[in-house]
Amino acid sequence: MQLLVAWTVLRTFAALGRLEPVDEAREGIKVDAAPAAIVETHWPETGIRTRPWSPSKRIATMSKGTRLLVRGVVASRDSSGCKGKPWYAVYPFGYVCSEHVKPGREQPTVGHALGERMRGDRRLPYDYAKVREEGALMYRGVDGVRTGVAARSLSEGMNLAVARTLEVDGAAYVETVDGQLVSKSSVGWLGQGSAWHGVFLTDDAAIGPAFAWSSRDKVPVLAEPAVKAAQVGTLGLRERVDLLEETGEADPDRWWKIGEGRYVQAKNLNEVVFTAIPEGALRDNRLASGDDQWIDVDLGEQVLVAYRGERPVYVTLISSGKGSPTPKGNYPIWAKVASMTMANQDYEDNPYMVEHVPWVMLFQGHNALHGAYWHDQFGKRRSHGCVNLAPLDARWLFEWVAPALPAGWTGYLPADLERSVVVHVRDSSLPPDQAFVQERPIGPPDPEEEKRRQEEADERRAEAAATAAEAVPAAAAAG
């Protein structure tokens, strides 16, 4: 059994290792025999770096207790990166400071990141609660409650990831995954999120319209493609139908035949339309290595399709940006994070916070594909700009997109975005010349752009404060 575990781990790591190749001989990295075959992380978060020295980019993170296979040891070149201590060269790639790990005995755990939390019929890795009182107080642990010193106040509608409930001096609190306490009376439980999920595609699919889901409940099905035709039935919310024949050139006069004598207005459907590989969505260097994954996001239909080369393999409904539209363009995924807390940026005026959002793949700036546990409106625009997925879809997509993070790993940041899976974002509801444009640069948030937006926010808030201050004396004089 132990040999099987080791072989499974090595097979997974071999697939990962192709993503971050390093020519150690050319770079003068000498790997010697290591005193330990397995090491275990003992910091709350441990990083793996591209090179065994400082500075070098951190490309992966893992939680405390994660075990790694060691392929050798590298002597330190400097006193700052690992305080003069040696580095371990580990599988599948990279180097970890020997100060951050300890020798281990057991093999690395087989499985995916967050998989250990997905027992039974769970759809989410944590229990979640919504803040239902404006100004609810959050405390740093039991001591914070007893001293009455709050860490912050919360806005109604913020979401918390809850580890447990407990009593402090007779009062009930929820303790978050991050160790903060909030009065239990101030929150309501969210449950396990939407049960919605997409479908696998096993047969070859032709380019063009394939099928659709109804966009709301009780969608009228008419005998003819005309609003005054006799009604012959209805469709339930997200009911799947075949797209047999299209009539009309544009909404609201566009209809789909879904059966003999059965027609539905196109505006009431989320249409699944398969497409050829768009320019820039799948580079030749990735095709050559067999890494032929790419993702199509159609904002117009609120549909996501996962492809391998020309073949669609999975399709589902999403919720993209509403007030802040999801940007169109080709975007290589610049980070995979098992779970992360999302909140408004300092330059944004409307506060929000959703803790430990699961299965996050950041593709442009702060925008990401991720699981959404707080709503069930997939098929409609809803988000702040991200692409929301139902929990089951988010987990599948996160584990499908290379690299699949092993158990205990919390994040991965590719050193070369040329090797990363591309998210192709378009809007089929717009005219052809507007449906796809590269609206934003690729990669993480631009520090200069973030600085500019913060300066604008500071100026805006200063002006608002000055206006409010001027209004106070005037009001007093009038009184």
Q: Is the pLDDT of residue 143 over 70?
A: yes
CB atoms within 10 A of CB 47: 20
Between β-strands 293-298 and 303-308, what pairing exists: parallel, antiparallel or unpaired?
Answer: antiparallel
Q: Is the pLDDT of residue 19 over 90?
A: no
What are the strands of the beta sheet with 269-274, ordered from one edge?
Answer: 240-242, 208-214, 269-274
Task: Give the tokens for residue 131.
Answer: 């803040």
pLDDT band at 468 (very low <50, low <70, confident <90, very high): confident
Q: Whole-number mean pLDDT of the chain?
A: 91
Whether omega for the bond prior to residue 444 falls within 30 degrees of 0, making it cis, is no
How does pLDDT run across 363-422, given as a tens digit for each residue?
A: 999 999 999 999 999 999 999 999 999 999 999 999 999 999 999 999 999 988 998 999
pLDDT band at 9 (very low <50, low <70, confident <90, very high): very low
Give the pTM.
Answer: 0.91
**Partners of 355 in beta bridges:** none
Residue tagged 């790990």 (tokens): 101
Q: What is the pLDDT of residue 357?
A: 98
Instruction: Report how far apart, in Å, the C-alpha atoms of 122 and of each of 54, 217, 226, 357 are.
Output: 41, 26, 45, 15
Listed residue (43, 10, 36) closest to 110, CA to CA: 10
The answer to whether the beta carbons of residues 224 and 264 sit under 8 Å apart is no
pLDDT band at 4 (very low <50, low <70, confident <90, very high): very low
Once rounded to an integer, what is the mean pLDDT over residues 100-119? 93
Q: What is the C-alpha to C-alpha distance for residues 472 and 460, in angstroms, rounded to an integer?
A: 19
Listed residue (97, 94, 95, 89) closest to 37, CA to CA: 89
How does pLDDT run across 28-67, given as a tens digit for each residue?
A: 999 999 988 999 999 999 999 999 988 889 999 999 999 9
Ramachandran region of residue 420, left (φ > 0), alpha (ψ -120 to 50) or beta?
beta
The answer to whether the beta carbons of residues 58 and 47 sit under 8 Å apart is yes
**Partners of 214 in beta bridges:** 269
Per-residue H/E/C for 411-468? EECCCCHHHCCEEEEECCCCCHHHHCCCCCCCECCCHHHHHHHHHHHHHHHHHHHHHH
Q: What are phi and psi of 469, to 5 degrees?
A: -65, -35
Q: What is the C-alpha to C-alpha distance for residues 404 and 400, in angstroms, rounded to an integer?
A: 6
State percent of the chain over pLDDT 70.
94
Q: What is the pLDDT of residue 69?
A: 95
Instruction: Report how far apart, in Å, the C-alpha atoms of 255 and of each of 66, 191, 246, 329 are.
Output: 54, 38, 6, 29
How does pLDDT run across 284-318, given as a tens digit for each residue?
A: 777 766 789 999 999 999 999 999 999 999 999 99
Q: What is the pLDDT of residue 474?
A: 64
The tally of CA atoms less than 13 A away on the side-chain side of residue 303 is 26
How does pLDDT run across 333-369, given as a tens digit for each residue?
A: 999 999 999 988 888 888 889 999 999 999 999 999 9
Instruction: Report how far apart, in Å, the C-alpha atoms of 234 and of each of 196, 225, 381 are.
Output: 20, 14, 23
Q: Which of the two residues, 361 and 461, has the higher pLDDT score?
A: 361
